[in-house]
Structure 1
């Protein structure tokens, strides 16, 4: 699919949506909308649909929590068009209190990679002093960096520049990369 062929993306979460958030993921130039997420409000168990555009007529991915309100929740990622399980993402609950940390799981729930916030020092400053320090996340597979998410400086609208252009980036299924971006904006964005 064309949406998954890009190496760089720009993700923007809508500001102050009372009845569920919206995330738009564009190409690097911010001209072409590639993915649209409308998060349902008041859900105890996350069930996120990723669409090709705002009409929501073409569903591409489904990201679904395995359990209700779990501190170390596992989110399964499925390609809706082929009904193919792609893998899962597990939040490292207690470790994420001070510094956001996730595990990337294959379809057999084996850990194949991680997603980690940039530094413990900056993470603590963000949590206890100010949210004006932009976050960065590093995505690794088999100990090789495959992607970087860098938050832009905007205290009101969570936005990320996403880069999957490293030498090892092809090791990451781009569908999983998009799911990572969405979960970080929804789950970790709640602590802002």
Structure 2
């Protein structure tokens, strides 16, 4: 799918593949019928990296990278992650707001020329329960991102034994590649 087609998407589905040692994710477009369709990206988290890094590929053969994100620092509670295209050119960045995340996980997604989308867990009760201890894997949680108080996109973890997310995009100019990176990051980085 080319960038122009990608930008028209309003909904995506992210599913983690169950693998013993590595995190892998399928990102699929969702058609008007609500059924996940073509593969948009296949992501794999780099193993044993000093800095968190996830690379997204055109398919699960991992031959053609399409984008990725990488932490700027080795260890940082409020780390910034740069998102780049296949050629390594910057698309944007995201970072965890450490202070606000003490109570309710909060992230900031920055797209040049558009501004900053701020996202937080929708449900305060679930946010507090997540801090008390491990939640059952089937319990959903939700993140809502806004730009200047207007809905930008949401990531909703579905009721499931494996990690499945529905991503709804509301802001037409928001780069879908940044949304894909953030949706996967919410799974790979949320417990850090």
TM-score of the two chains, using structure 1 as the length reference: 0.85
Structural mapping, 1:80-159, within 5 Å: 80-81=86-87, 83-107=88-112, 112-128=116-132, 130-131=135-136, 132-154=138-160, 156-159=161-164
Partner-residue secondary structure (3-state), 1:94: helix
Please tell me whether the aligned partners of residues 117 and 147 of structure 2 are also in contact (alpha carbons under 8 angstroms): yes
Matched with 2:24 is 22
Aligned 8 A contact 1:126 1:133 in 2? no
CA distance in 2, matches of 1:24, 1:3: 15
Q: SS of the residue aligned with 1:115? A: strand
State TM-score, norm by structure 2. 0.85
Q: Is the 8 A contact 2:108 2:119 kept in 1?
A: yes
Quote the offset at 1:119 in angstroms. 2.5
C-alpha displacement at 1:128, in angstroms?
2.2
Q: 2:182 aligns with which of 175, 180, 184?
A: 180
Q: 2:67 aligns with which of 61, 73, 78?
A: 61
Cα gap change, 1:159 to 1:37, in 2 (>3 Å) = same
Equivalents in 2 of 1:91, 1:174: separation in Å?
A: 19
Instruction: Give the gaps of 5 or more residues in structure 2.
Output: none
C-alpha distance in structure 1 between counterparts of 2:22 and 2:7, whole Å:
25
Structure 1 stretches (4+) deviating beyond 3 angstroms? 2-5, 129-133
Aligned 8 A contact 2:121 2:127 in 1 = yes
Distance 1:179 1:157, change over 3 A: same
The within-5 A match list for 1:67-86 is 67-81=73-87, 83-86=88-91
Distance verdict in 2 for CA 1:12–1:171, change over 3 Å = same
